Amino acid sequence: MLPFQKACRIISVYVLVASGIPAVLCQTAPKSESGPAIVYVKAGHLFDATSDNLRDNVVLVVEGERIRKVAPAADISIPTGATVVDLSKDWVLPGLIDCHTHLEARADHYDPIWDVKETPFDGGFNGVVNANKTLMAGFTGVRDVGSQPFFAVDLRRAIDAGDFPGPRVVASGPPISITGGHGDMNGFAPGVENLMYPAERDFQLADGPEAVRHIVREQVKYGVDVIKILATGGVLSQGDKPGAEQMTYDEMKMAVDTGHAAGRKVAAHAHGTEGIKDAVRAGVDSIEHGSLIDAEGIEMMKAHGTYLVADIYNDDYILGKAVEFGLPKENVDKEKMVGRLQRENFAKAVTAGVKIAFGTDAGVYPHGDNAKQFHYMVKFGMTPAGAIRAATSSAADLIDRAKDEGTLEAGKYADLIAVTENPLDRIEVLEHVSVVMKGGKVYKDEIGAVAKR
Omega into 150 within 30° of 0, i.e. cis?
A: yes
**Active-site entry in 361, 412, 415, 441:** 361
Choose the catalytic residue: 228, 277, 355, 412.
228
| CA 414 – CA 430 distance, rounded (Å) | 19
228 in catalytic set: yes
Q: E strands, 231-383, where?
A: 265-270, 286-289, 307-309
Q: Is 184 a catalytic residue?
A: no
E strand or H helix at 144: strand 139-144
Question: For 98-149, where are the alpha helices, taking DSSP H only?
Answer: 114-117, 120-136
Residue 113 to residues 187, 188, 202, 327, Cα–Cα distance (Å): 11, 9, 14, 11
Residue among 164, 248, 238, 171 nearest 206 (CA): 248
For residue 404, give every residue at least 6 positions away whose Cβ sits within 8 Å of its Cβ, in sequence order, or none: 396, 412, 413
Treating both helix axes as pointing N-terminal to C-terminal, what angle do 120-136 and 3-18 enclose, rounded to 10 degrees?
A: 50
Contact 68, 410 (CB under 8 A): yes
Tally Cβ neighbours within 10 Å of residue 10: 10
Q: Are 447 and 437 in contact (CB under 8 A)?
A: no
CA-closest candidate to residue 101, choices 50, 161, 178, 155: 155
Buried b or exposed e, range 280-298, using 16+ CB within 10 angstroms:
bebbbbbbbbbbbbeeebb
Which one, of 114, 142, 119, lies nearest residue 130 by Cα?
142
- Catalytically active residues are 228, 361
